[in-house]
Amino acid sequence: MSVWEEDIKEVQRAFERFREVRIDKYWRVERASDYWVDIRGRGRLEGHEFVGVDGSFLTRPLAFSTFYLARAIAIAPSVGSFKSSKSELLETTSDDWARRHAEAVMAYLEVVTASRALEELAKRGKEPVVLFDGSLSSLIVHKAVLHRSPRFPSIADSMCKGLTELAEGGCVVFVAKRSSSSVYGEGHLPDMILFSSMPRGYSKPKTVKIADLYTMREEELKELESLPLGPKLKTVTISYVRLSDGGPLLKVEVPGACSENEVHDIVAGLSNVSPAGYPVPLLAAHNSAKLRPITLRRALSLLGIRLPTGREALREAFP
């Protein structure tokens, strides 16, 4: 495949727009330093068990339908892993429709597996810290409101009920690798850019209403308010962290309002299980949950299933 001249021009134009909105680096570091805190000591979560939760999904377009497989895993070192999977043939050829549904199912499965792990650990007298990959606010707003499943809208309610029980029953932390939020940047630039030059440490936490993090229409706000969310899930405490020198900048979200001391304990605990800057429990869950096209091919092959994709005329095979 070739790169067009038109492609190069458009890519160049896109990054020129990005350079136009960049803020002076020295101003950025000075402003970010006002919020930045060193990670001191080991925190009060030492001895707690960190549980990594993640999920994955794949869709396969067919000539007459769309097939998907979604799955999730929760890994607790002392009791092992908890797995859930879901697959359907959807009565649609719309890729967007299918992906929205599959992603909503995956999010629900993540909550289910986390709940199972938390329940088993509670029976054994453990004090777990449940780590989710991604953003809590994005999960609620995007999966449950803006992009809820068109096939099974009520799955959003089930997910929110499960999240509420998790948040009330233990320590739940969401760790995101990407974010366009501008809570500290006050709308001038994304927080990820503001704190991009900061060393190991974390930003002083800010507690905000989830509804205030997104621009939503009146009917969408009403839909958000109608979700079965407990009080702890209507607000979120945010902090940006760098868990090791040279490690990635991450966004941490904790349900409800947390004090700076509570956030420090969480960050210090995360730092203990993140020698390379990213929590090992989440990395293990990601590697175990990740679905690849070859996994789907093997599953179909074991069942002796061969289905037309509609792209045979282009001499294209499903990857």
Question: Hey, what long-range contacts does 304-312 have (CB within 8 A, 24 or more apart)?
Answer: 307/60, 307/62, 307/63, 307/67, 308/62, 308/63, 308/64, 309/60, 309/61, 309/62, 309/63, 310/61, 310/62, 310/63, 310/93, 311/61
299-316 pLDDT tens trace? 777 877 776 665 555 555
Looking at residue 121, its pLDDT comes to 93
167 and 114 Cβ atoms separated by less than 8 Å: no
Comparing CA positions, the residue from 115, 118, 113 lying closest to residue 70 is 113
User: How far apart (Å, rounded) are the C-alpha atoms in residues 250 and 239?
Assistant: 9
User: How far apart (Å, rounded) are the C-alpha atoms in residues 310 and 95?
Assistant: 13
Looking at residue 207, its pLDDT comes to 96
Question: What single letter denotes the amino acid at residue 13?
Answer: R
Helix, strand, coil percentages, rounded to 5, for the chain: 45, 20, 35
Residue 175, SS3? Answer: strand
| 15 or 91, which is more confident | 91
151-210 pLDDT tens trace? 788 899 999 999 999 999 889 999 999 999 999 877 678 899 889 989 999 999 999 999
204-216 pLDDT tens trace? 999 999 999 988 8
Domain spans in the chain, listed from the N-terminal domain onward: 40-179+209-314
β-pairing verdict for 49-61 and 128-133: parallel
7-55 pLDDT tens trace? 999 988 887 766 655 555 555 666 889 999 988 766 666 678 999 999 9
261-305 pLDDT tens trace? 999 999 999 999 999 999 999 999 999 999 988 887 787 778 777
Centre a 10 Å sphere on the Cβ of residue 99 and count the other Cβ atoms it contains.
Answer: 16
Architecture of the domain spanning 40-179+209-314: 2-Layer Sandwich (3.30)
User: How far apart (Å, rounded) are the C-alpha atoms in residues 210 and 236?
Assistant: 6
